[in-house]
Amino acid sequence: MTARDRRRLDESAGEVAGEPHRAVSDFAVGLGIVAMAVVVWVVTTGFDEVPASLTQGMGPAAFPRLVLGVIIVLAAWLAFSASSREPLTLEPVHPMVFATLAAMAGVIGAMLLLGIHGAVAAACIGMGRLWGERRLALLVVIAAGISLSLHVAFVRGFGIGLPRGLLQGWLG
Amino acid sequence: MDAFIAGMAILTDPYMVGIILAGTVVGVVVGALPGLSGSTTAALLLPITITMTPVAGIAFLGAIYCAANFGGSITAILINTPGDPSASATAYDGYPMARNGEAGRALGISTIASAIGGIFSVFVLIVAAPLLAKAAYSFGPPEYFALAIFGLSMLAAVGASAGIRNLIMGAFGVLLATVGLDLMTGVERFTFGVAELSEGLELVPVLTGLFAISELLVQAGRLQIVPERMGLTAMRLPSMADYRKCAKAIGLSSVLGTFIGILPALGATTAALISYNETKRWSKYKDEFGKGSIEGVAGPEAANNAAVGGSMVPTLALGIPGSATTAIILAGLIVQGVRPGPHLFNEQPTLLYAVFASMLAANLIYIVLGLFGAKLFARITLIPDAILWPGVLIFAIIGAYGPNQSLVDVWVMLGFGVIGYVMRRYGFSPAPLVMGLVLGKLVEETLKQSLLIFDQNWLLFFTRPIVLTLFVVTMLGLCAPWLARAIRGGAKSARPPADAR
| Chain B residue at shortest CA distance from A163 | B405
Cβ contact, residue pair B397, A108, below 8 Å: yes
The answer for A162, left when phi > 0, alpha when psi is -120 to 50, beta otherwise, is: beta
Angle at B176 between CA A40 and CA A28, to 5 degrees: 50
Between B198 and A12, where is the model more confident? B198
Number of domains in chain A: 2
The contacts of residue B173 (CB under 8 Å, 6+ apart) are B432, B433, B434, B435, B436, B437, B438, B439, B440
Tens-digit pLDDT profile for residues B28-76: 877 777 666 677 777 777 777 877 888 888 888 888 888 887 777 877 7
Based on the fold, state whether residues A82 and A14 are members of the same structural domain: yes
The predicted pLDDT at position B478 comes to 78
Tens-digit pLDDT profile for residues B400-442: 887 777 888 899 999 999 999 999 888 888 878 888 887 888 8
Contacts of B385 in chain A (CB under 8 A): 131
Neighbour tally for A23: CB within 10 Å: 11
Least Cα distance to A120 among A150, A97, A93 occurs for A150
pLDDT band at B380 (very low <50, low <70, confident <90, very high): low
Least Cα distance to B354 among B119, B123, B9, B122 occurs for B9
The contacts of residue A79 (CB under 8 Å, 6+ apart) are A26, A27, A28, A29, A30, A31, A34
Residue B65 lies in a domain: yes
Tens-digit pLDDT profile for residues A76-110: 998 888 777 777 788 888 899 999 999 999 999 99
Chosen for mutation from A58, A146, A154 (greatest number of chain B CBs closer than 10 Å) is: A58
The predicted pLDDT at position B161 comes to 59
CA distances, B37 to each of B151, B231, B236, B265 (Å): 23, 23, 27, 17
Number of domains in chain B: 1
Q: List the beta bridge partners of residue B41.
A: none
Residue B107 lies in a domain: yes
The helix (run of H) or strand (run of E) holding residue A78 is: helix A62-80
Model confidence at A11: pLDDT above 60: no
A138 is in which domain, residue-wise?
Answer: 95-171
Distance CA(B223)–CA(A10), nearest Å, equals 9
Model confidence at B501: pLDDT above 50: no
Contact predicate B324/B267, CB 8 Å: yes
Based on the fold, state whether residues A64 and A111 are members of the same structural domain: no
Least Cα distance to A34 among B275, B315, B171, B176 occurs for B171
Residue B500 lies in a domain: no
Based on the fold, state whether residues A84 and A13 are members of the same structural domain: yes
Residue B497 lies in a domain: no
Q: Quick one: what percent of chain B has pLDDT higher than 70?
A: 87
Residue B234 lies in a domain: no
Based on the fold, state whether residues A79 and A23 are members of the same structural domain: yes
Q: Is B448 on the interface with A (CB under 8 A)?
A: yes
Cβ contact, residue pair A101, B217, below 8 Å: yes
Cβ contact, residue pair A40, B175, below 8 Å: yes
B192 is in which domain, residue-wise?
Answer: 2-227+239-490
Q: DSSP character for B238? A: P
Boundary of a domain, candidates A49, A69, A90: A90
Coil, helix or strand at residue A23: strand
Q: Is B193 on the interface with A (CB under 8 A)?
A: no
Per-position DSSP letters for B40-107, written without gaps between them:
HHHHHHHHHHTTS-HHHHHHHHHHHHHHHHHHHHHHHHHHS--SSGGGHHHHHHHHHHHHTT-HHHHH
Mean pLDDT of A44-52: 83
Based on the fold, state whether residues A63 and A122 are members of the same structural domain: no
Phi (first) and psi of residue B181, to 5 degrees = -70, 135
Cβ contact, residue pair B394, A150, below 8 Å: yes
Tens-digit pLDDT profile for residues B116-135: 998 998 888 888 888 877 77
Model confidence at B491: pLDDT above 70: no
Count of positions (residues) in chain A: 172
Q: Determine what percent of chain B falls in helix, strand and coil, rounding each to the nearest 5.
A: 75, 0, 20
Residue B501 lies in a domain: no
Boundary of a domain, candidates A90, A121, A138: A90
Task: Give B35: exposed, middle or buried? Use CB within 10 Å, 0-12, 13-18, 19+.
Answer: buried
Based on the fold, state whether residues A19 and A79 are members of the same structural domain: yes
Coil, helix or strand at residue B123: helix
B167, B224, B411 member nearest A74 (Cβ) = B167
Chosen for mutation from A6, A49, A100, A141 (greatest number of chain B CBs closer than 10 Å) is: A100
Q: List the beta bridge partners of residue A90.
A: A22
Based on the fold, state whether residues A119 and A80 are members of the same structural domain: no
Q: Is the pTM of this model over 0.80?
A: no
The per-residue pLDDT of chain B, averaged, comes to 80
Residue B495 lies in a domain: no
Residue B233 lies in a domain: no
Contact predicate B357/A68, CB 8 Å: no
Q: Where are the alpha helices (DSSP H) in B177-323?
A: 203-208, 214-220, 240-262, 268-282, 294-318
The answer for B148, left when phi > 0, alpha when psi is -120 to 50, beta otherwise, is: alpha
The contacts of residue B375 (CB under 8 Å, 6+ apart) are B232, B235
b/e burial code for range B91-119 (CB count within 10 A of at least 16 → b): bbbbbbbbeeebbbbbbbbbbbbbbbbbb
Model confidence at B387: pLDDT above 80: yes
Contacts of A68 in chain B (CB under 8 A): 175
Count of positions (residues) in chain B: 501
CA distance A27 to chain B (A): 12
Distance CA(A27)–CA(B129), nearest Å, equals 42
**Three-state SS sequence of B384-414:** CHHHHHHHHHHHHHHHHHCCCCCHHHHHHHH
Model confidence at B1: pLDDT above 70: no
**Three-state SS sequence of A84-147:** HCCCEEECCCCHHHHHHHHHHHHHHHHHHHHHHHHHHHHHHHHHHHHCCCCCHHHHHHHHHHHH
Task: Give A4: exposed, middle or buried? Use CB within 10 Å, 0-12, 13-18, 19+.
Answer: exposed
